[in-house]
């Protein structure tokens, strides 16, 4: 029984636009569209294939790590240590490659994945076995892993001339007309999409984040799931680290410093709920794309680099708030 009169229901809309709007990704897609139009009006060189290839190239690594971050956030966790994992693995892999320039580059990637897996497992163990809240655990390893970068490298960098060409080529080239990097990102996205949508383990990630008590009653082993998502985050960072070192042709002590916030931003902007249980691969892809577009556009419309970071933050907030308002409106019209 309702205690107040609700406004008359609008006729049930069944057109295409409406069915698109039911998806949360629609809001962020709309915002991207508006942004593209606005920026293009200001500087027409924005809407060119070359520029968009640039944007995609620039967000490839972000996409890989943000997808892993999204899985962690869906379990109602967070992994702040991703930037340090990338920094550490990049340094270690670069050192090995420098030592053995003749090694097949597939093994460099495998080494990166393995090292990342180890770091991710450490996070997972601290969180599941040590019962430390994820934000604290990964804040700790954020510092520890970064500290290890200095310890391992003795504070020195590995520069372009020390790395073999085959390593640097890992991230270059455009087979199929798309940059290598973008293809890596697409492969990861497809794998994560399949994992989250078509495996029980993937679905359990949502269950654990959405209602941990119910997950336990449903016979889902939550601790294993949690361990797994941090492990996967490590693996993703391992891949990202190899690509990072290859693309920028160096490994520095400050590689990827502050990158963790971008991965969280991409996930959250893409509709992954910080309170767990919600998030999709297309959403995260759009989130990363929006971030990439904002960065690119700020340069194109010649906003001073001093302002760029602040403008970027502001645009992210606007995007999230606008998306929330849209989502709320949809919710309201659905429930009435």
If binding is defined by CB under 8 A, does position 268 make contact with another protein?
Answer: no
Beta partners for residue 158, in sequence order = 251
If binding is defined by CB under 8 A, does position 215 make contact with another protein?
Answer: yes
Cβ atoms 56, 292 nearer than 8 A: yes
Distance CA 333, CA 336 (A): 5
- Residue closer to another protein, measured from CB, 4 or 99: 4
Distance CA 181, CA 126 (A): 32
Lay out the site mask for another protein across 222-261 (x = CB under 8 A, - = otherwise).
----------------------------------------
If binding is defined by CB under 8 A, does position 299 make contact with another protein?
Answer: no
If binding is defined by CB under 8 A, does position 332 make contact with another protein?
Answer: no
**Cβ of residue 167: shortest distance to another protein, in angstroms?**
34
Cβ atoms 50, 312 nearer than 8 A: no
- Residue closer to another protein, measured from CB, 4 or 15: 4
**Cβ of residue 223: shortest distance to another protein, in angstroms?**
12
When binding is defined by CB under 8 A, the residue of 204, 246, 250, 263 that contacts another protein is 204
If binding is defined by CB under 8 A, does position 335 make contact with another protein?
Answer: yes
Place of tokens 């959405």: 210
If binding is defined by CB under 8 A, does position 3 make contact with another protein?
Answer: yes
When binding is defined by CB under 8 A, the residue of 8, 9, 198, 332 that contacts another protein is 198
> Can you spell out the DSSP letters for 76-119?
T---TTHHHHHHHHHHHHHHHHHH-TTS-HHHHHHHHHHHHHHH
Cβ atoms 74, 274 nearer than 8 A: no
Distance CA 309, CA 306 (A): 7
- Residue closer to another protein, measured from CB, 214 or 261: 214
If binding is defined by CB under 8 A, does position 197 make contact with another protein?
Answer: yes
- Residue closer to another protein, measured from CB, 4 or 304: 4
How big is the chain, counted in residues? 336
If binding is defined by CB under 8 A, does position 9 make contact with another protein?
Answer: no
- Residue closer to another protein, measured from CB, 94 or 192: 192
If binding is defined by CB under 8 A, does position 289 make contact with another protein?
Answer: no
DSSP 275: T
When binding is defined by CB under 8 A, the residue of 15, 17, 155, 213 that contacts another protein is 213
User: Residue-wise over 222-259: b if at least 16 C-beta within 10 A, else e?
Assistant: beebbbbbbbbbbbbbbbbbbbbbbbebbbbbebbeeb
If binding is defined by CB under 8 A, does position 217 make contact with another protein?
Answer: yes
When binding is defined by CB under 8 A, the residue of 179, 277, 283, 287 that contacts another protein is 277
Stretch that binds another protein, among 35-43, 59-67, 134-142, 271-279 (CB under 8 A): 271-279
Backbone φ and ψ for 251, nearest 5 degrees, come out as -130, 120
Distance CA 25, CA 287 (A): 9
Tokens standing for residue 148: 């290890």
If binding is defined by CB under 8 A, does position 203 make contact with another protein?
Answer: yes
Interface positions with another protein (CB under 8 A):
1, 3, 197-200, 203-204, 206-207, 210-211, 213-220, 273, 277-278, 334-335
């Amino acid at each position: 029984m309702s205690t107040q009169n609700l406004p008359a229901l609008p006729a049930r809309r069944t057109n295409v636009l409406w069915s698109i709007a039911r998806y949360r990704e629609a809001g962020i897609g709309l915002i991207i569209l508006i942004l593209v139009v606005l920026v293009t009006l200001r500087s027409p060189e924005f809407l060119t294939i070359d520029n968009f290839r640039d944007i995609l190239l620039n967000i490839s690594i972000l996409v890989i790590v943000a997808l892993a971050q999204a899985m962690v956030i869906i379990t109602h966790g967070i992994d702040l240590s991703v930037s340090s994992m990338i920094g550490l693995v990049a340094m270690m892999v670069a050192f090995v490659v420098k030592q053995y320039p003749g090694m097949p580059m597939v093994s460099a990637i495998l080494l990166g994945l393995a090292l990342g897996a180890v770091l991710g497992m450490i996070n997972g163990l601290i969180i599941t076995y040590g019962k430390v809240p994820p934000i604290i655990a990964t804040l700790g390893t954020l510092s520890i892993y970064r500290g290890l970068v200095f310890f391992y490298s003795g504070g020195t960098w590995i520069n372009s001339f020390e790395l073999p060409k085959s390593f640097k080529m890992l991230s270059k080239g455009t087979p199929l007309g798309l940059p290598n990097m973008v293809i890596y990102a697409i492969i990861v996205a497809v794998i994560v999409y399949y994992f989250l949508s078509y495996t029980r383990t993937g679905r359990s990630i949502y269950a654990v984040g959405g209602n941990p008590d119910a997950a336990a009653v449903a016979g889902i082993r939550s601790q294993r799931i949690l361990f797994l998502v941090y492990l996967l985050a490590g693996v993703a960072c391992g891949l990202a680290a190899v690509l990072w070192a290859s693309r920028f042709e160096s490994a520095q002590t400050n590689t990827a410093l502050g990158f963790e916030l971008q991965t969280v931003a991409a996930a959250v902007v893409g509709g992954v709920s910080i309170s767990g249980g919600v998030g999709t691969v297309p959403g995260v892809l759009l989130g990363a794309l929006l971030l990439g577009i904002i960065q690119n556009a700020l340069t194109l419309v010649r906003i001073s680099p001093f302002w760029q970071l602040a403008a970027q933050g502001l645009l992210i907030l606007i995007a999230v708030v606008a998306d929330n308002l849209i989502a709320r409106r949809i919710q309201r019209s659905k429930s009435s």
